[in-house]
Structure 1
């Protein structure tokens, strides 16, 4: 018999363990809503939420389909509370469904159910989502989206949605996002995968798992003999008995995914899990590799009619069009520049990305308009036709998200550029941007891993840390009791130059100086404006102008010495940050001022010289002031030695920016000299 002490110990132990068990599942039961459920308070970790995802649960399992192979079933249940009218968009859904035009593989939604609950006069009123409120939109020939909005949503509503999806696409196993645009109290995903299928699990995000478990269970699968591409071609039903891996992931109290300044795309940091089928291993059969390596991917692309074969079939008339532009040029670099400029200056990008051609390159040559793939693959073909060694480089732009160097996941790649070898040098080219010079890529391409598609595909890194944006501003300032006037000359960085070239091309030079006048304020007049090197696209531009503003005659004059500051306000307002800071490039900005003190005045207050560093060599800021009779000289310099800062470095970066902005806003105070 157990003693009272033992009973007490067991009771205490059960009390201690109870909260842990209680946290193993969502805190409510789907389909049962009570008046108490409408008394939902805002989560402490996101008090500004407009909607709250109370529970979001998914379950996927690989099962035999009706075609003699395997597919999967995906079920989802979600309950959401609408805090205010700004959260009603939480009830909008799009479910992508894929189908094949070459076989019977498809996806379809079954067991669809949606209900909105509202509390009216103490009673719960249900409004069901009707079938005629669900629309199907054809996106591409292989994709259709189910689109709908939950009905009767308003402040204080609760809605639940559940559906099951059946899919034949094992390679495109359903992903799961634990983090969304609204805070999530409980997000759970469970998968069951037979031992015959090996998947690569790709996880990302900064949120930690509350539960992460796996176990093996015995399963029996009956395979229909109608289609047996996986298991050897027999027409009879087959029964397989084996193990299945069950994996369960849970995150709780997940904050909303919110946009931050200086970030490539939030999708890089959303807490989620993705799956890629790697191989298939059925009993008594050799493993079948499904995920291809880079050599195979490259070979397939070069045989693709909209990639490698498209370059091979470029009409010979294109070469005839280029020949007049390179006639008499023997220098190989100069000739390559002329070929590049022909495409840049004669073809217009239609705004579509992608690594493939849009189809008929003869039509592109005729209309002089095409996609990224059209223009840059033709550039590669043209360079090859003139004897150059040139290769395509595929990449993902900054707004698209990162690619994996190890896994050739082709849906991540949305851009193609050209690499050309000339002697011992190689140049990267993008002819789709009319404002770029030879050997330059637009900033959107600097997103880490890219792949040169050669016989032995080569990984390269297009990192923002590898490029430097340098700006030098020279300013003169003359003050008097009646006015303040001066001039500014700014030598811009290359990417700023590209931006201003585009602005001038689209809206004229006035647009550049109107933006400068807006920065100064309406009390200032801008005159003698000029932009140098606009047409010389290999060089940075230089912007010069004079300025003047009226001054009220007074015994005390307040002068802003930094007329072109590094930043007007700190872009890092949040006290905490969960994501890295991803600047588009490294920065080196210098500002020099020569200020003539007006006659009859003397310096009463002067900013002090200072120099501060950022972390351990990540950058620095200097503010140097020197005086001589009748003149003040000022030099400020902001240097960021890298473009990527981790969340742990955020606080110091925020403080650094704050100090720079505060210091550059300090004024010089002049007082009338007493006789």
Structure 2
């Protein structure tokens, strides 16, 4: 009898505290929770994340794609408030061909005096804007957010783009307590399933029967003896099989970002359903994308790609006048490249298809597809071996699998006579051959040849970018630093500086430098527009409190405010590559005049630190003579991307050189 009673109590207890994920059924236990049991550092957590994507038959338009979303989020503190804002992307091709959102329900729950108080989202707080020509954006922020709030929303998206299934994302920047997702497709659609990330969630596969009902109307006009007519209605059904993949998981850890990741989404646990082919009753199979060859061929055959490369009439006169008398291929390349950059400005739209190259040329503005396909066509017209290169930008991710959505950008590749290649992007005013904008430095691009064939090309530069800094200073008895600064920047470091400096308000730009505690005068930048020369930045400055004075001794760091003070690598273990974007050399040469009446008591020892396999190095040297100290520090990273296998070594490398730069010079009164 006691055993039965105990079992009964256990069942009652389990039912009492079992989670109810029905919309609106938020519990006091959820609202009272102060710390995430999965991750005590989390600012918020998905209590429940649900998605169901399936096909629904419409007798007018055929199958359409339906996605239902239901999410419940717990917010622990103010740092988690950003999770109270939701943004939803809706695809569109034209006014009548776009995704629609419906049945948005959203509520905020708070616990006040042991009572659950509900604030509903007002429809007037839901905003729809145009993100770009292909996407609209729905945005709302939940009402009455406080530390401890639980928010919940659900909505449905109906899409006419039945071949485009959004990626199923199973991991976020916050943990997930309970995940449920499903994808249901009729037998007429065959999908490739592409997974990524280091967290594996295996689906449960099920099959169900589906039915499509057809209503047929037949009008009878009579039998000759009467004019009466009647309509006969009949029904017929088509039975088909549905393939269902169900994903269920609990206590999914957060995917934590860290510096030098090209795109954290590349490593996020997710599943992508890519349509491979369709096979409807009484029709032949239609292939969509199964290999990169298929993808490239389909792109090349599009009128907005291959055909645009053949158009020359709109620029022939201008290019003839520009390079008609030039025979050197490299000179032709430079002239045409700079011509396009000066003639057509980028409107900010990404894409590898051209909207209208003639219009872009005429109006002097266009998308990345317009500009770089135009550039390719002009280079070909001038007799150069030029081809477009499909690129996935860093924010778009790495195209791991053959997919029509793998690329979102295009640049140009020219093969020169010495078999070297020059990569060009005319959307970036301050770019140069083989100095692509940072957004395009993302693993490999795919060259599209004139016949539609393709090959891969490394987008990362081989040439190091340099920032050579010289600082001549004197430090007074109060620890105030006064001196001059001069830096010489090349390649990608120069490109980045030009993009920030040339387009900025000069007073605001200078103010950002002075925010480091500097009083600056005689600020000057040379070669800001001349891309053939390095950037030379110089100024004079005064900075207070650069030394600790204790008794008759003075202590200061050899690099002062230029030293690296924090290790960017903090994770215990990292499973994704370290992406610096480009190889670089940063050098510091500092000449210090010490105060009168002081002499050198102690200088840091020289050091040389190397990464394995010549991935990078750090050299540090301080020498003193009389009242002058000379500091030389050179750090370099020799590869754009470093494997996570070297993460521990890289983390320790940064620790050591940060400690070295923090070592103190000691002066004493003579």
> What's 1:280 paired with?
278
> What's 1:58 paired with?
51
Give the alignment of 1:529-568 within 5 angstroms: 531-545=525-539, 556-562=553-559, 565=562, 567-568=564-565
Cα gap change, 1:636 to 1:652, in 2 (>3 Å): same
Instruction: Return the alpha-carbon distance in structure 1 between the equivalents of residues 69 and 596 of structure 2.
Output: 77
Instruction: Return the alpha-carbon distance in structure 2 between the equivalents of residues 638 and 336 of structure 1.
Output: 34
> Once the 2 structures are TM-superposed, how far is the Cα of residue 648 of structure 1 from its aligned partner?
5.7
Conserved in 2, the CA contact under 8 Å of 1:452 and 1:458?
yes
Q: Describe the SS at the equivalent of 1:506.
A: coil
Cα gap change, 1:457 to 1:261, in 2 (>3 Å): same
Instruction: Return the alpha-carbon distance in structure 2 between the equivalents of residues 99 and 609 of structure 1.
Output: 61
- Superimposed CA distance per residue, residues 122-143 of structure 1 (whole angstroms, 9 cap, x where no aligned partner): 4445555576766665667776
Instruction: Return the alpha-carbon distance in structure 2 between the equivalents of residues 311 and 585 of structure 1.
Output: 31
> What's 2:176 paired with?
184
1:495 aligns with 2:520: no
Instruction: Return the alpha-carbon distance in structure 2 between the equivalents of residues 236 and 37 of structure 1.
Output: 50
Instruction: Return the alpha-carbon distance in structure 2 between the equivalents of residues 643 and 631 of structure 1.
Output: 37
> Once the 2 structures are TM-superposed, how far is the Cα of residue 487 of structure 1 from its aligned partner?
4.7
Instruction: Return the alpha-carbon distance in structure 2 between the equivalents of residues 121 and 516 of structure 1.
Output: 50
Cα gap change, 1:474 to 1:285, in 2 (>3 Å): same
> Once the 2 structures are TM-superposed, how far is the Cα of residue 171 of structure 1 from its aligned partner?
1.6
Give the alignment of 1:434-583 within 5 angstroms: 434-454=429-449, 455-464=451-460, 466-477=462-473, 487-507=484-504, 518-519=515-516, 521-522=517-518, 526-527=521-522, 531-545=525-539, 556-562=553-559, 565=562, 567-573=564-570, 579-583=576-580
Conserved in 2, the CA contact under 8 Å of 1:58 and 1:188?
yes
Instruction: Return the alpha-carbon distance in structure 2 between the equivalents of residues 124 and 510 of structure 1.
Output: 52
Instruction: Return the alpha-carbon distance in structure 1 between the equivalents of residues 322 and 171 of structure 2.
Output: 54
- Superimposed CA distance per residue, residues 228-277 of structure 1 (whole angstroms, 9 cap, x where no aligned partner): xxxxxxx99563455x4433323322344555322233332332222111
- Superimposed CA distance per residue, residues 82-114 of structure 1 (whole angstroms, 9 cap, x where no aligned partner): 4346645544444445567599x7755566654
For this pair of structures, how many residues does the alignment match? 636
1:612 aligns with 2:609: yes
- Superimposed CA distance per residue, residues 155-214 of structure 1 (whole angstroms, 9 cap, x where no aligned partner): 4444443445554543223432222354321112123344543212222233343xx243
Instruction: Return the alpha-carbon distance in structure 1 between the equivalents of residues 101 and 625 of structure 2.
Output: 79
Cα gap change, 1:637 to 1:26, in 2 (>3 Å): farther
1:381 aligns with 2:377: yes
1:217 aligns with 2:211: no
Cα gap change, 1:250 to 1:596, in 2 (>3 Å): same
> What's 1:11 paired with?
none
> What's 2:392 paired with?
396
Instruction: Return the alpha-carbon distance in structure 1 between the equivalents of residues 136 and 538 of structure 2.
Output: 53
Instruction: Return the alpha-carbon distance in structure 1 between the equivalents of residues 115 and 590 of structure 2.
Output: 71
> Once the 2 structures are TM-superposed, how far is the Cα of residue 461 of structure 1 from its aligned partner?
4.1
**Over the residues paired in the alignment, what is the CA RMSD in angstroms?**
4.2
**TM-score, reference length from structure 2:** 0.81
1:253 aligns with 2:287: no
Instruction: Return the alpha-carbon distance in structure 2 between the equivalents of residues 476 and 396 of structure 1.
Output: 44
> Once the 2 structures are TM-superposed, how far is the Cα of residue 498 of structure 1 from its aligned partner?
1.7
Q: Describe the SS at the equivalent of 2:559.
A: coil
Instruction: Return the alpha-carbon distance in structure 1 between the equivalents of residues 482 and 112 of structure 2.
Output: 67
5+ residue gaps, structure 2, are: 217-233
> Once the 2 structures are TM-superposed, how far is the Cα of residue 357 of structure 1 from its aligned partner?
2.9
Conserved in 2, the CA contact under 8 Å of 1:68 and 1:223?
no
- Choose 303-312 or 373-382, whichever is displaced more: 303-312
Give the alignment of 1:233-382 within 5 angstroms: 237=236, 239-240=238-239, 242=241, 244-257=242-255, 259-281=257-279, 287-291=285-289, 293-316=291-314, 318-326=315-323, 328-359=325-356, 361-382=357-378
Instruction: Return the alpha-carbon distance in structure 2 between the equivalents of residues 273 and 595 of structure 1.
Output: 57
Q: Describe the SS at the equivalent of 2:503.
A: helix
Instruction: Return the alpha-carbon distance in structure 1 between the equivalents of residues 142 and 407 of structure 2.
Output: 34
- Choose 25-34 or 327-336, whichever is displaced more: 25-34
> Once the 2 structures are TM-superposed, how far is the Cα of residue 362 of structure 1 from its aligned partner?
3.9
> What's 1:229 paired with?
none
5+ residue gaps, structure 1, are: 1-7, 9-13, 227-234
Q: Describe the SS at the equivalent of 1:335.
A: helix
> Once the 2 structures are TM-superposed, how far is the Cα of residue 313 of structure 1 from its aligned partner?
3.3
Give the alignment of 1:639-654 within 5 angstroms: 639-646=636-643, 649-654=646-651
1:602 aligns with 2:599: yes
> What's 2:196 paired with?
204
> Once the 2 structures are TM-superposed, how far is the Cα of residue 43 of structure 1 from its aligned partner?
1.2
Q: Describe the SS at the equivalent of 1:267.
A: helix
Conserved in 1, the CA contact under 8 Å of 2:384 and 2:414?
yes
> What's 2:68 paired with?
75
> Once the 2 structures are TM-superposed, how far is the Cα of residue 379 of structure 1 from its aligned partner?
1.7
**TM-score, reference length from structure 1:** 0.80
Instruction: Return the alpha-carbon distance in structure 1 between the equivalents of residues 505 and 151 of structure 2.
Output: 52
Instruction: Return the alpha-carbon distance in structure 1 between the equivalents of residues 509 and 45 of structure 2.
Output: 44
Cα gap change, 1:36 to 1:306, in 2 (>3 Å): same
Conserved in 1, the CA contact under 8 Å of 2:186 and 2:240?
no
> What's 1:232 paired with?
none
Q: Describe the SS at the equivalent of 1:459.
A: strand
Match of 1:28 among 17, 20, 31: 20
> Once the 2 structures are TM-superposed, how far is the Cα of residue 608 of structure 1 from its aligned partner?
0.9
1:670 aligns with 2:662: no
Conserved in 2, the CA contact under 8 Å of 1:566 and 1:638?
no
- Superimposed CA distance per residue, residues 284-340 of structure 1 (whole angstroms, 9 cap, x where no aligned partner): 875432226444544444444433333433543x33234444364332221221121
Instruction: Return the alpha-carbon distance in structure 1 between the equivalents of residues 52 and 140 of structure 2.
Output: 22
Cα gap change, 1:599 to 1:273, in 2 (>3 Å): same
Q: Describe the SS at the equivalent of 1:655.
A: helix
Conserved in 2, the CA contact under 8 Å of 1:494 and 1:539?
no
> Once the 2 structures are TM-superposed, how far is the Cα of residue 407 of structure 1 from its aligned partner?
0.5
Instruction: Return the alpha-carbon distance in structure 1 between the equivalents of residues 131 and 557 of structure 2.
Output: 55
Instruction: Return the alpha-carbon distance in structure 2 between the equivalents of residues 277 and 204 of structure 1.
Output: 17
